[in-house]
Amino acid sequence: MKKPFIFIISVLGVILESCYYDNEVYLYGNGSGAVCDTATVTYSATIAPIMASNCNSCHTASSGNGVITSDYNNLKTIVNNGKLLKSVNWTAGAIQMPLGGQKLPTCTLAKINKWVDNGALNN
Ligand code: HEC
């Protein structure tokens, strides 16, 4: 009599599992209740504009503090040394960016993290 019971528990497990959407859109949102679309993140359409409006004012070739966020190759340097994500995610011990400002919105951070997860492509 034990086998049917185990079978029913397994079926229930599968059904319950399917109710959980492990999806960045659902996990992060964009803070306004609207859906945060991280599926189509690219350097040119997503990341470059984020850098332009939040970072480039302090991080161009002429005023960079050694860090340049305004072109792909220099941005890739701080992706590779880990400083981009640490600074924007406000990882403990990191220098928090934007300096003196507010943490970037959750959806913006989700996009930056996704782009890096995808290999920080120049796309
Ligand atoms: C108001 C000016 C300003 C803005 C805006 C700003 N930064 Fe910075 N950033 C600085 C300064 C100044 C430093 C050097 C801080 C230090 O060494 O204490 C710095 C340092 C950094 C560093 C190096 C941190 C380290 O650990 O060495 C990174 C990476 C960085 N910024 C990325 C960014 C990114 C990404 C943005 C946009 C989200 C941004 N910054 C926005 C001024 C700014």
CB 31 within 8 A of CB 107: yes
Q: Which of 88, 99, 103, 107 most suits a substitution to test ligand 1, by most atoms within 8 Å of the C-beta? A: 99
Q: Averaged over 9-32, what is the pLDDT?
A: 50
pLDDT over threshold 80, residue 14? no
Query: What is the chain's mean pLDDT, rounded?
Result: 84
Q: What is the pTM of this model?
A: 0.80
85: closest CA among 65, 110, 59?
A: 110
Residue 63, pLDDT score = 75
pLDDT over threshold 80, residue 120? yes
More confident residue, 79 or 4: 79
Q: Averaged over 81-107, what is the pLDDT?
A: 97
Measuring CA to CA, how many Å separate 68 from each of 11, 28, 61, 106? 54, 28, 6, 23
Q: Averaged over 105-112, what is the pLDDT?
A: 98
Report how far residue 56's alpha carbon sits from residue 67's, in angstroms, rounded to the nearest whole number.
10
More confident residue, 116 or 20: 116
Taking the domains of the chain in order of start, what are their residue ranges?
23-117
35-44, 61-70, 76-85, 93-102: segment of lowest average pLDDT: 61-70
Q: Is 46 in the pocket of ligand 1 (CB under 6 A)?
A: no
Q: Is 108 in the pocket of ligand 1 (CB under 6 A)?
A: no
More confident residue, 64 or 65: 65
Q: Determine which residue's CA is closest to atom 14 belonging to ligand 1.
A: 65
Q: Is 8 in the pocket of ligand 1 (CB under 6 A)?
A: no
Alpha helices in the chain (DSSP H): 2-17, 24-28, 48-54, 72-80, 83-89, 106-117
